[in-house]
Each structure stands twice: as structure tokens, then as C-alpha cells.
């Protein structure tokens, strides 16, 4: 069964595993999410559920999103996202899904979100290039190096590493282990770090890397 959940990153801490080792974990305030719409093979050509998370005022939404909630009869939510599923019949319209129904300790998940924005950065920070020496007559410190050859090809190759915007883009961290689940308080904790600052909206899915 395809698993999915939405949540907000709460922050990091550490917990102890059975062996008594300290394990770094990220705490995520998860769900519950509600099924707003089912996409079926007949109607859309693929199977997915549209889920909503984090209730809000209707005035905060744009018209297309308002339409989704009006059609389903659910209260408006801030986050609206689609997840592919194997069997859409397993879900009901308006069904509320809690994190404890989706994930258990030991599951492997992929977590996607928007990474922290670093602004416009040079090659040393953005691509991990080394830069030149700082002294001994060197005038080449943190600049971009050679852009390529001369008359052949007579242009800069596509994909050449150059300065530009770093961060503030979608990042997925794969194969994280679920370390803690609390169904009552809707908390999920995964081992390791996830993208973004605290409060970032995260998508959690079962991993593409690890199949039992």
C-alpha cells in the first residue's frame, strides 16, 4: 500500500534506541489529512487521492482550491496535495487519515520539502569547488574557473557549474527510518535530518529505495 502524510517540521532532538545509543531525530507535526478527491482510472487515467492538511479560513485560499473544498463539502485547508496510490477504492471521500494509521516505527520513508534558501552563492559554496590560495601573490581566490575550451565548441557547455540561487528549492531525502510515532498527538519522528527550516511543510511517502 502506498503510504503518504503531510506535516510541519517541528525541530530536531535526540532519542535513545534499544541498545542505548543516542539517535538524532527530526520531529514532524503530522496530519491528520482528509481525502478531498479520488482520482480513478476511468475519470483521470491514473489512481491518486487528493488530500488536505491544516484547516484554515476560506478567504486564505485561491479560487481553484475553494472549488475543490466546495465540491467535497470539507472545511477549507491550507495544504492540498495529490498522492499516487495503488488502489484508490481503499479510501473514502472525507476520510481522515492519521499518521499512526500510515506509519509504524521501523518503516523507511522519503521526506520532501523546500530547503533553506541560501541566496545567490558563488561556486565554492554552491558546488563545493575549492577556490584558489588566499595569499602568496595569488589573485585567484573564490572566483569561477575556466568556462571551457576555445573555438571548439565556441560556447559554454550546458550544465557548467556557475554561481546562482542556492537552496529554496524542492529537496527529497530518501530512505529515512521512522523512529517514533504518537497517534494521540500526531507526531512522527524520523532518524536524521530533513529539508527546510522549522515550520516547513513536508511530504512523507514510503521510500522508493527500500522494498521488502
Partner 1 sequence: MNVNLIKAVEESQLRDTYPNVEIGDTVRLHLRITEGARERIQVFEGTVIARKGEGLSETLTVRRLSYGVGVERIVPIHSPKLDHIEVVRKGRVRRAKLYYLRGRVGRRARVREKLPPRKTN
Residues that bind partner 1 (CB under 8 A): 8, 10-16, 19-20, 22, 25, 27, 29, 180, 182, 185, 187, 189, 198-199
Q: Rounded to the nearest whole angstrom, what is the least distance from the CB of residue 27 to partner 1 in the complex? A: 5
Please, which residue, 13 or 138, has the CB nearer to partner 1?
13
Please, which residue, 29 or 193, has the CB nearer to partner 1?
29
Please, which residue, 50 or 181, has the CB nearer to partner 1?
181
Give the residue carrying C-alpha cell 535513545: 16
**Cross-strand bridge partners of residue 8:** 29, 201
Give the residue carrying C-alpha cell 467535497: 72
Q: Taking the chain, what is the end-to-end CA distance rounded to the nearest angstrom?
A: 12
Residue 24 CA to residue 92 CA, distance in Å, equals: 36
Please, which residue, 160 or 198, has the CB nearer to partner 1?
198
Please, which residue, 149 or 197, has the CB nearer to partner 1?
197
How do beta strands 33-39 and 48-55 pair? antiparallel
Name 137's Cβ contacts closer than 8 Å, sequence gap at least 6. none
Q: Rounded to the nearest whole angstrom, what is the least distance from the CB of residue 26 to partner 1 in the complex? A: 10
Q: Rounded to the nearest whole angstrom, what is the least distance from the CB of residue 174 to partner 1 in the complex? A: 23
Residues 41/57, Cβ–Cβ less than 8 Å: no
Q: Rounded to the nearest whole angstrom, what is the least distance from the CB of residue 111 to partner 1 in the complex? A: 16
Q: Rounded to the nearest whole angstrom, what is the least distance from the CB of residue 179 to partner 1 in the complex? A: 9
Residues 202/31, Cβ–Cβ less than 8 Å: no
Task: Quickly count: other Cβ atoms within 10 Å of residue 162's Cβ.
Answer: 12
Query: Which grid coordinates are listed for 59?
Result: 478567504
Amino acid at each position: 500500500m502506498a503510504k503518504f502524510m503531510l506535516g510541519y517540521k517541528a525541530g530536531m532532538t535526540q532519542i535513545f534506541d534499544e541498545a542505548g545509543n543516542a539517535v538524532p531525530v527530526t520531529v514532524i507535526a503530522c496530519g491528520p489529512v482528509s481525502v478531498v478527491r479520488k482520482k480513478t482510472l476511468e475519470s483521470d487515467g491514473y489512481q491518486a487521492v487528493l488530500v488536505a492538511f491544516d484547516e484554515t479560513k476560506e478567504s486564505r485560499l485561491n479560487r481553484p482550491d475553494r472549488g475543490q473544498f466546495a465540491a467535497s463539502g470539507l472545511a477549507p485547508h491550507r495544504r492540498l496535495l495529490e498522492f499516487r496510490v495503488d488502489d484508490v477504492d481503499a479510501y473514502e471521500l472525507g476520510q481522515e487519515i492519521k499518521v499512526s494509521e500510515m506509519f509504524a516505527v521501523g518503516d523507511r520513508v522519503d521526506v520532501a520539502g523546500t530547503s533553506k534558501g541560501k541566496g545567490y552563492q558563488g561556486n565554492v559554496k554552491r558546488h563545493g569547488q575549492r577556490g584558489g590560495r588566499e595569499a602568496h601573490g595569488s589573485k585567484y581566490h573564490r572566483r569561477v574557473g575556466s568556462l571551457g575550451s576555445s573555438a571548439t565548441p565556441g560556447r559554454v557547455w550546458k550544465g557548467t557549474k556557475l554561481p546562482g540561487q542556492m537552496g529554496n528549492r524542492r529537496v527529497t531525502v530518501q530512505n529515512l527510518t521512522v523512529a517514533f510515532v504518537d497517534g494521540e498527538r500526531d507526531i512522527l519522528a524520523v532518524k536524521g535530518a530533513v529539508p527546510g527550516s522549522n515550520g516547513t511543510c513536508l511530504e512523507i511517502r514510503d521510500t522508493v529505495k527500500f522494498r521488502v
